[in-house]
Chains A and B, each alone.
Chain A
Amino acid sequence: MLIALAAVTAAGFVLAVVVGSTPLPLGDVLAALTRTGDPGTETIVWTVRLPRAVTALLAGAALGAAGAQMQTLFRNPLAEPYILGVSSGASLGVALVVIGLGGVGGAFTAGVAGFGRIGIVLAASAGAAAVLLLVLMLSRRVRSVATLLIIGVLVGSAAVSLISLMLTYTDPRLAQQYIAWGLGTFSGTTWSDLAVLAPVCAGALAAALAGVKPLNALLMGENYARTMGVNVRRTRTATLLVSSVLAGAVTAYCGPVAFLGMAVPHMARLLIGTSDHRVLMPAAVLLGAGTSLLCCVATQAPGSEAVLPLNAITTLLGTPVVIAVLLRSRSARMGLAV
């Protein structure tokens, strides 16, 4: 089953490179890949399509893993990587940079163009890191994960309302730039961005895959895990850290990517039929990557020149699929086992 998933992901990657909003014949794409073709096509394939496909692969894998971790940690089927406000924190960082403190004029109306791409990435990372620190600090004082979940959701809501406040009093053009960022994209990354994103994602994914045994114990409840010798507090901190790094890195480079983090673990669980994280985690990673690549192809709207917003596609494509899968599956009808 894992091999089948890997094959689907590989096929998805190939599709993402071959298909795009500009129709390019397959032969031209292959020539461009071997650097023997037309330089214009080569530029498109190497600077636009390949980075986009790699980003989609990494983002899907990262969000799938982070989603599985969050759902197990909080024992909640609606949990997802952004539930503790990581993406809200990143959005707040970007909003501060893009929209500024509103109404001050001059220096603060710089917008995206004033700070450049690096500024946006740094602001998003800083925002996500700030929220993560806050949540980790609170996690030490709070005993139950349910309380932590509530606090995290509230912190996320507070960040979102601050953003709404800023959006109300700002120039519509800047608000539009911020909203465009919030729609998410895989197309904004260059190879130098990937030189940072890839190692961070790979490292965090390795950590996620290595930490599967305590998660299996946590499935039965924290007290049971304690009797099995698992250090619950340390596991909680480590899991929060890894999943927030995954979610934060993806958000910093791609904007908030909706839906994948929540749907992919469910689809993985239904596909492999077990909640054993030793199988579930790799399955979530592969399935996340494959789904993300397919969404990436869909956003390119092959045949038309326009590009569709990523979050709309992930949610619109994903929702009916997950509902159909849930309705079909017998085990799901009897209640989702997390």
Chain B
Amino acid sequence: MPCVLRCAPFACLSSGDLRSFVPCPAPRGGGHGVPGRKNDAFPPQAVASLLKDAGGTYAWADTKGTGSTALDLETVLSKAGDAPTWLVVENNWKSLADVEKADARYAKFKAFQDGNVWSANKVLGPGGGNDYYERGVARPDLILADLIAILRPELAPGHELTFYQRLTK
């Protein structure tokens, strides 16, 4: 099966070398949603597991429960403000200016200042649907490959990102 064949070369990366840090969560209304062990479309434990397999860590990796949690901005700032990478799935964020438009305080995050914000909105359907939730659910190996290319670029040189794109000014 394609999934097994593709996953195998990457599986060896998840052995212990958890260098890169914590991606920040995506904002939702007044609170800031953080995927727990489960995300809207993904089965439980998928998000944190994918990040761990890609060599990253996640500040809320040990949250129990399903679905997103709404957190206060100060909690997110204190736990993840210094994280080097920010991964988000937000259809409408095409540039760093969009991020700042949502809340001026997002500019305080180190990932924003370093220009290391990645949004999984590279492939959007004509009705506004995000392929991350469609093809991505069936092909987590593609997401994993993207995450590795983002978090550990030296391991996947020349990889073309499927779902994520870097947000620039």
A43-B108, A48-B105, A117-B101 given; A255·B75 CB < 8 A: no
Contacts of A306 in B (CB 8 A): 31, 69-72
**Interface of chain B residues 44 through 82 with chain A (CB within 8 A):** 69-75, 77-79, 81-82
Q: Is A315 engaged at the interface, CB distance under 8 Å to the other chain? A: no
Do A305 and B102 touch (CB < 8 A)?
Answer: no
Contacts of A48 in B (CB 8 A): 72-74, 77, 105
A110-B92, A113-B90, A113-B91 given; A255·B30 CB < 8 A: yes
**CB within 8 A of A40: which of B73, B81, B127?**
B81
Do B126 and A187 touch (CB < 8 A)?
Answer: no
Contacts of B128 in A (CB 8 A): 105-106, 109
Do B77 and A43 touch (CB < 8 A)?
Answer: yes
Number of A-B contacts (CB under 8 A): 104
Chain B, interface residues (CB within 8 Å), range? 20 to 34
Q: Is B28 engaged at the interface, CB distance under 8 Å to the other chain? A: yes
A51 smallest CB distance to B (angstroms): 9
Chief secondary structure at chain A's binding surface: helix
Chain B residue at smallest Cβ distance from A309: B30
Chain A residue at smallest Cβ distance from B27: A113
Q: How far is it, in angstroms, between the C-alpha of A38 and the C-alpha of B71 when the chains are bound? A: 22
In the complex, which of the residues B71, B74, B90, B91 has the most CB atoms of chain A within 10 Å of its own CB atom?
B74
Q: Is A176 engaged at the interface, CB distance under 8 Å to the other chain? A: yes
Do A105 and B126 touch (CB < 8 A)?
Answer: yes
Contacts of A117 in B (CB 8 A): 101-104
Chief secondary structure at chain B's binding surface: mixed
Q: Is B29 engaged at the interface, CB distance under 8 Å to the other chain? A: yes
A44-B78, A113-B93, A118-B101 given; A180·B30 CB < 8 A: yes
Do A190 and B71 touch (CB < 8 A)?
Answer: no
B101 smallest CB distance to A (angstroms): 3
Do B29 and A40 touch (CB < 8 A)?
Answer: no
A119 smallest CB distance to B (angstroms): 8
Q: Is B160 engaged at the interface, CB distance under 8 Å to the other chain? A: no
Do B74 and A188 touch (CB < 8 A)?
Answer: no
Interface mask (B106-123 → A, CB under 8 Å = 1, otherwise 0): 001000000000000000
Q: Is B17 engaged at the interface, CB distance under 8 Å to the other chain? A: no
CB within 8 Å of B: which residues of A?
A: 20-22, 40-41, 43-44, 47-49, 105-106, 109-114, 116-118, 176-177, 179-181, 183-185, 187-188, 190, 192, 255, 300, 305-307, 309-310
